């Protein structure tokens, strides 16, 4: 009994692998291309673990995937591999088309060919679980009901459009070929090992460095925040008991504005690692808080194109059918997250390379 996890060195994939092996002795074969956000250090604790086999490779490499499937005979493939940053998709959409659409297609082709060779019982037990995002549904107004699994797709960025396309491919392989698939669409994840281009790790990183905390527009964009280990538990539950061909929305039941999230992080840092009083950076465009508070570093920047105003997940189907609910509130999860980054500054230093600094300067200057 083995599972194959793609995108295993990224944020959610790495957390899933670590969580899986903390819960089970079933071996994991990891496949990751190790692009800028894929980090072997995320899986460093498994280097000598015989239950874990890491392979450096691309889901678009059909021959490699076929070799792994034939050699390890997994009972399930979980696809976390994706380009996932909206800003980067606006700046360079082709990588998103290649990985999220073409890569998913080639992965599906290899998995279908493998599945068709399995004996009857093994074929019936096999699963392909595709991890996607709530961003495929588009944007909500403040009064709109939360996204359900039947909400029409209305992606507004190259990233969300590429993920929508991958979702449709997965659905098509179920209805056309009978491939036993499951899809999850999650809200905004946060937690350990999150690459510091996304809001929460970016704010923690910049705050500790005494740098401005960039907030797009007026900061009132609403997101539902899901602690990453809650997401991992939801995926395990869907893999174990989800109905074939079905989609399950995974949410944290924590709608917060971006500005409120940034302020929460500042307040926790004020408590856990107070800063010395000093003149704030870029003081002409800062918000509340004395100079001694991290809030004094908040700076509003020009909004990004096509910025969705609100996401909200209705995860009642997952609760009703599979009995899953998140274990963490936003308050407990964000405290654990800030504490982890304070305790793991070597990890942050290792990944914030010159290329990362160039990206930050380009997009938030």
First to last CA, the chain: 50
Nearest-CA neighbor of 264 among 338, 347, 168?
Answer: 338
Contact 75, 81 (CB under 8 A): no
Catalytic residue, chosen from 159, 190, 227, 311, is 159
135 noted as active-site residue: yes
Give, in order, the Cα–Cα distances in Å from 307 to each of 218, 219, 226: 12, 11, 20
| Token reading at 158 | 């190259």
Q: What is the CA radius of gyration of the chain?
A: 20
Query: Between the CA of residue 223 and those of 140, 192, 254, what are the distances in Å?
Result: 10, 19, 8
C-alpha distances out from residue 285 to 206, 213, 217, Å = 16, 11, 12
**Known catalytic residue: 260?**
no
Q: Is 321 part of the annotated catalytic residue set?
A: no
User: Annotated catalytic residue: which of 32, 83, 87, 134?
Assistant: 134
The residue from 135, 167, 197, 255 that is catalytic is 135
Q: Which runs of E-coded beta strand occur in the chain?
A: 3-6, 28-32, 52-56, 76-79, 127-133, 181-186, 188-190, 213-216, 222-227, 247-250, 255-257, 298-301
Q: Which residues are catalytic?
A: 134-135, 159
């Amino acid at each position: 009994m083995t599972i194959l996890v793609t995108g295993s060195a990224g944020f959610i994939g790495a957390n899933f692998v670590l969580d899986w092996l903390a819960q089970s002795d079933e071996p994991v074969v990891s496949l990751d291309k190790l692009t800028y956000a894929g980090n072997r250090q995320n899986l460093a604790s498994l280097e000598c673990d015989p239950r874990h086999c890491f392979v450096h490779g691309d889901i678009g490499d059909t021959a490699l995937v076929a070799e792994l499937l034939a050699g390890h005979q997994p009972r399930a493939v979980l696809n976390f591999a994706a380009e996932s940053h909206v800003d980067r998709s606006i700046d360079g959409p082709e990588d998103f088309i290649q990985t999220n659409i073409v890569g998913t297609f080639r992965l599906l082709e290899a998995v279908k060919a493998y599945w068709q060779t399995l004996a009857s019982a093994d074929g019936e037990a096999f699963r392909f679980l595709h991890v996607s995002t709530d961003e495929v549904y588009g944007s909500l107004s403040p009064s709109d009901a939360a996204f359900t699994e039947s909400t029409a797709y209305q992606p507004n960025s190259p990233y969300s459009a590429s993920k929508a396309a991958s979702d449709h491919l997965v659905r098509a392989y179920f209805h056309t070929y009978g491939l036993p698939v499951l899809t999850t669409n999650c809200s905004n994840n946060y937690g350990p090992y999150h690459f510091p281009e996304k809001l929460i790790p970016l704010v923690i990183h910049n705050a500790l460095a005494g740098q401005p905390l960039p907030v797009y527009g007026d900061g009132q964009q609403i997101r539902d925040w899901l602690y990453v280990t809650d997401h991992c538990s939801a995926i395990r539950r869907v893999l174990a008991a989800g109905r074939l061909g079905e989609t399950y929305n995974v949410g944290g039941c924590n709608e917060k504005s971006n500005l409120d999230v940034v302020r929460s992080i500042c307040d926790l840092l004020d408590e856990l690692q107070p800063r010395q009083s000093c003149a704030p950076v870029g003081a002409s465009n800062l918000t509340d808080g004395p100079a001694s508070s991290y809030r004094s570093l908040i700076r509003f920047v020009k909004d990004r194109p096509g910025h969705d105003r609100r996401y909200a997940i209705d995860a009642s189907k997952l609760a009703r059918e599979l009995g899953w609910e998140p274990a963490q509130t936003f308050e407990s999860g964000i405290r654990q997250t800030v504490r982890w980054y304070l305790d793991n500054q070597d990890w942050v230093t290792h990944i914030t390379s010159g290329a990362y600094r160039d990206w930050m300067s380009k997009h938030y200057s």
